[in-house]
Amino acid sequence: FDPNHDGHSGSISMTTGSAHGIGKGGDINLKVGTGSMADGGDISLMAGKVGGNTFIGGTLTLTSGASDYISGDVNMKTPGTREKSYGSGNSGNINIKTGSSYRGNSGALNLGTG
């Protein structure tokens, strides 16, 4: 990328091959290291940010697999604490929040079923 010229940045794509016959499609697993005497590693997913006032930031989409029988699930969970946990022993939170807006409306939080 040349900062003196306009242009798109690159992309990263991870895909597995398609299965044939009765084969199962491949998995993609992202896993970070386990902490021993400190916190475990984080995974952050962030869509693209823009600087212009007439452009829209990137969208983050989580979509399960489609099927003619039953589509896949989208699961968000925090695991429970161990029986011999230190401190309060609380499980982590699941936080869903829209951003605030300087002049316009804050984003909506939409939950629905098919």
Residue 62 · residue 74 · CB < 8 Å:
yes
Average pLDDT of every residue of the chain = 80
Q: Percent of the chain at pLDDT above 90?
A: 0
Position 96 confidence tier, pLDDT thresholds 50, 70, 90: confident
Q: Which residues of 5-42 are buried (b: 16+ CB within 10 A; e: fewer)?
A: eeeeeeeeeeeeeeeeeeeeeeeeeeeeeeeeeeeeee
Write down the pTM of the prediction.
Answer: 0.65
Mean pLDDT of 1-28: 78
Mean pLDDT of 62-67: 83
Position 34 confidence tier, pLDDT thresholds 50, 70, 90: confident
